[in-house]
C-alpha cells in the first residue's frame, strides 16, 4: 500500500482552473482530497457530481478563506469526513488589477485578505496537528509576480511576496517536527483565467517573455505539488520554487 493512501489533502480554491487539476492529480496519486469553495458558489454540487462521474471522489466544503471562523469550520468538516489534514495547499487567490493611481482601499483589502490573510486563517487550523503527528506539508501558491512585480498589481504582488515571507518563518518553526513549508511561484499557466487574455496580447506581450515559448500546463504545477507533498521532499523546506518557463530567474 502506498504511503499516500491514507493521507488527507486540503486544497483551497480547489474548484478553479489550477486548483481542480491539483485536486484530481492528488486523487490519482492516492490521496484523499478535500477542496474549499466560496460559499456563494452555487455550482459546487454540479462540480462534485461531474468529478464523481469522471471517477474522482472529492469532498467539497464551503469556506470563506478571509474569515478565520469559516476556515475552522471547513477544516473541522474535512477532519470529520476524511481524517486529519496532512497536506494543506493554500491555492485560493484573486486579482483586482489596476494602477496604484486608480487603486482604492476596497481592491487593496480584497486581494490582501484573500491571497495573504488566508494563509494565516487556514494554516492556523492544521499546523499544530501536523507538529503533533510529526508529519505535515504546507504548500503555498505564490506567483512569478510576487518575485518580479507586475504593472497594475501592487496589491497582488505585495500579497504574493508576503506568501514567501510567511513560508520561510513558519518553515523554521516546524522544521524539527517533520513538517515542511514551501512556496511555489507559477508563471503564466494555461488556466481559464490566462487563456481568457486576448490572443494578440498573449502573442505579443506574454509569450515572447517566456523562454520556453509557451504557457505552462496545470498538470506541471500539480506535479511539483505532488513532489513537495511526498516523503522524498522531506529535506526541502522554506524554499520558493519557480515554475515559470524561465520567464524570471532568481
- Its pTM stands at 0.96
According to the model, what pLDDT value does residue 1 have? 45
Q: For residue 248, tell me if it sits in a domain.
A: no
**Residues spanned by the domain of 93:** 3-243
CA atoms of 5 and 216, how far apart (whole Å): 28
Q: Determine, yes or no, domain membership for 76.
A: yes
Residue ranges, the chain, pLDDT below 70: 1-5
Q: Residue 250: inside a domain, yes or no?
A: no
pLDDT score, position 113: 98
- So what's the pLDDT on residue 104? 98
- Flag whether 165 is in a domain: yes
Question: Is 31 known to be catalytic?
Answer: no
pLDDT of amino acid 109: 98
* Cα–Cα separations (whole angstroms), residue 150 to 90, 101, 120: 22, 14, 24
Dihedrals phi, psi of 102, to nearest 5 degrees: -95, -15
CATH code assigned at 133: 3.40.50.720
- What is the spatial distance between Cα 72 and Cα 157, in angstroms, rounded to a whole number? 27
Domain membership of residue 73 (yes or no) is yes
191 belongs to a structural domain:
yes
For the segment 65-112, what is each residue's pLDDT rounded down to a tens digit? Answer: 999 999 999 999 999 999 999 999 999 999 999 999 999 999 999 999
Q: Given this model, what pLDDT does residue 2 score? A: 56
Q: Residue 201 domain-assigned?
A: yes
Question: Catalytic residue among 31, 156, 188, 227, which?
Answer: 156
Q: Is residue 104 part of a domain?
A: yes
Number of folded domains that form the chain: 1
Amino acid at each position: 500500500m502506498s504511503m499516500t493512501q491514507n493521507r488527507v489533502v486540503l486544497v483551497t480554491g480547489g474548484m478553479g482552473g489550477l486548483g481542480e487539476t491539483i485536486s484530481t492529480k492528488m486523487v490519482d496519486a492516492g490521496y484523499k482530497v478535500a477542496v474549499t469553495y466560496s460559499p456563494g458558489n452555487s455550482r459546487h454540487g454540479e462540480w462534485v457530481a461531474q468529478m464523481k462521474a469522471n471517477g474522482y471522489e472529492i469532498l467539497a466544503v464551503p469556506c470563506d478563506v478571509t474569515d478565520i471562523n469559516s476556515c475552522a469550520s471547513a477544516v473541522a468538516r474535512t477532519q470529520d469526513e476524511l481524517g486529519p489534514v496532512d497536506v494543506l495547499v493554500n491555492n485560493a487567490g484573486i486579482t483586482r488589477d489596476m494602477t496604484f493611481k486608480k487603486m482604492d482601499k476596497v481592491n487593496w483589502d480584497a486581494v490582501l485578505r484573500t491571497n495573504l490573510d488566508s494563509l494565516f486563517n487556514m494554516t492556523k487550523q492544521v499546523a499544530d496537528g501536523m507538529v503533533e503527528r510529526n508529519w505535515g506539508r504546507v504548500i503555498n501558491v505564490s506567483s512569478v509576480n510576487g518575485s518580479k512585480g507586475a504593472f497594475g498589481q501592487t496589491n497582488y504582488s505585495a500579497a504574493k511576496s508576503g506568501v514567501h515571507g510567511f513560508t520561510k518563518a513558519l518553515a523554521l518553526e516546524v522544521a524539527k517536527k517533520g513538517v515542511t513549508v514551501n512556496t511555489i511561484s507559477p508563471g503564466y499557466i494555461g488556466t481559464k483565467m490566462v487563456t481568457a487574455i486576448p490572443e494578440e496580447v498573449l502573442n505579443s506581450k506574454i509569450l515572447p517573455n517566456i523562454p520556453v515559448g509557451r504557457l505552462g500546463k496545470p498538470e506541471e504545477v500539480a506535479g511539483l505539488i505532488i513532489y513537495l507533498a511526498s516523503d522524498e521532499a522531506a529535506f526541502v523546506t522554506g524554499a520558493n520554487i519557480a515554475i515559470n518557463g524561465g520567464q524570471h530567474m532568481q
